[in-house]
Amino acid sequence: MSDMYLFANVNFMPGQYADWQAAYDKLAKYVWSKEQTTKTYYFGIPFDYANDVSNTTLMFAFEVYDNMAALTDIHLKSPTMSTFLEAALPCMTTGLDLAYYSFAAGFLDRPGDRRECGVMHDMRTHCTTAEGRRVVEDALREQVGPAVSKDGGGGVYTWLVCRSDDDDREVRLYSRFRSSEDLERYLRMPEVKTFWREHGQNEVATMEQRGYVPNHKGWLHR
């Protein structure tokens, strides 16, 4: 797959989420209509603010583009983007916080109907070496991936392994689940626990993970 995957943190001034989102709604309408190369535009709110979304200071963004040019030459340079940034940047504590990846394994939409998830999970690992990343990718693809795909519960909607384009030691795993119970069941799958026993203290140097709930904006894919 040649698509470019983008992961971003949107960092808000306290109490500014609603203002940012109002500006985004106008941008998203334009992007859906005019930018067919923006394939995915999907967002999550940290569990911490699941019941108080308006006060969140962070939003997770997962986006997919045809290629890097679709982002840099089309999406970021559109006149609507300029208008959006004028309204959105004053609501943020930082500028655009973006990281770029390529597909390594997995699936975006297992049910095939773009259904909304209950929760999502983002796991970012830095391996000890570039070779270590290859080992981790292979283990996820060959050991964990088949078990997730065959899982009879059907609660895993998205399971994507992505390799960083900027750091040859980084691999990221983004998942969407029907419910918190399905996330917990996945984390306890024998194949997942075996992966950590075999690789967690060998090839993995650091790992960050966080859970999110959808904010019901954007789209999973066209």
Give yes or no on whether 4-100 and 103-212 have one common fold: yes
Q: Which CATH number fits domain 103-212: 2.60.40.420, 3.90.700.10, 1.10.3720.10, 3.30.70.100?
A: 3.30.70.100
Which among 164, 158, 125, 213 is positioned nearest to 7, based on CA atoms? 164
- Alpha-carbon span 125 to 133, nearest angstrom: 9
Fold classified for 4-100: Alpha-Beta Plaits (3.30.70)
Domain spans of the chain, in order of start: 4-100, 103-212
- Alpha-carbon span 193 to 213, nearest angstrom: 24
Q: What is the reported pLDDT for 153?
A: 73
Mean pLDDT, 10 residues at a time, over the chain (222 residues)? 90 96 96 97 97 96 97 95 95 95 96 97 97 97 95 89 97 98 96 96 96 97 96
Burial class (CB in 10 A: 0-12, 13-18, 19+), 123: middle
- Alpha-carbon span 49 to 9, nearest angstrom: 15
Q: Which residues face 165 on adjacent strands?
A: none
Q: What is the reported pLDDT for 154?
A: 86
Q: What is the reported pLDDT for 33?
A: 96
